[in-house]
Amino acid sequence: MPIRIADTREEVRSPERRGILETFSFVTEQPQLIHLHTEEFSAVCPGTGLPDIGTLDVWYIPSDRCIELKSFKMYLFSYRNEEIFQEPVADLIFEDLWAVLAPRYMRLTLRYNIRGGILTTVHLARGDISALPLETQRLLP
């Protein structure tokens, strides 16, 4: 089997996948930090064809929408058979969540299980945390 070393983001990006994500209206006076966590995220390594399994954490402060959790689970499962490296898949997940939620702030961390003795963690963040109350800023990782 030939080794495939490529950013497959454009092959994997899909409006249908983003369409899996559902949201619901949510407005609050006190900003809430919402933390989503799973230790069962998986995709396929394009280089080896082996499954990559990792821990995904998303922290977000909603503007006026929250993610519906069943749709988020189905969205994540849709990557299970996709050949994509960790960095591009983290980028796609972040882009899709940002697009459907338009949050005040969001941070994503994707840590893949150790393979070959190397632990890799990807972090992405967007939003103006200085616009948040200090109490909320202190909650952020």
User: Looking at residue 129, what DSSP letter applies?
Assistant: G
- Active-site residue identified among 52, 57, 91, 96: 52
Q: What is the pLDDT along the chain (141 residues), one digit of tens a residue?
A: 566 677 888 888 888 999 999 999 998 888 999 999 999 999 999 888 889 999 999 999 999 999 999 999 999 999 999 999 999 999 999 999 999 999 999 999 999 998 778 899 999 999 988 888 888 888 888
Cα–Cα–Cα angle for 100, 39, 121, rounded to 5 degrees: 80
- Active-site residue identified among 7, 45, 91, 96: 45
pLDDT at position 2 = 62
The kind and range of the H/E element at 119 are strand 118-127
Cβ atoms of residues 20 and 74 within 8 Å: yes
CA 80 to chain centre: 14
Name the pTM for this structure: 0.91
Residue 52: active-site member: yes
Residue 91: active-site member: no
The domains located in the chain, with CATH, are 16-133 (3.30.1130.10)
Listed residue (27, 50, 55, 17) closest to 39, CA to CA = 55
Query: 115 forms bridges with which residues in the sheet?
Result: 118
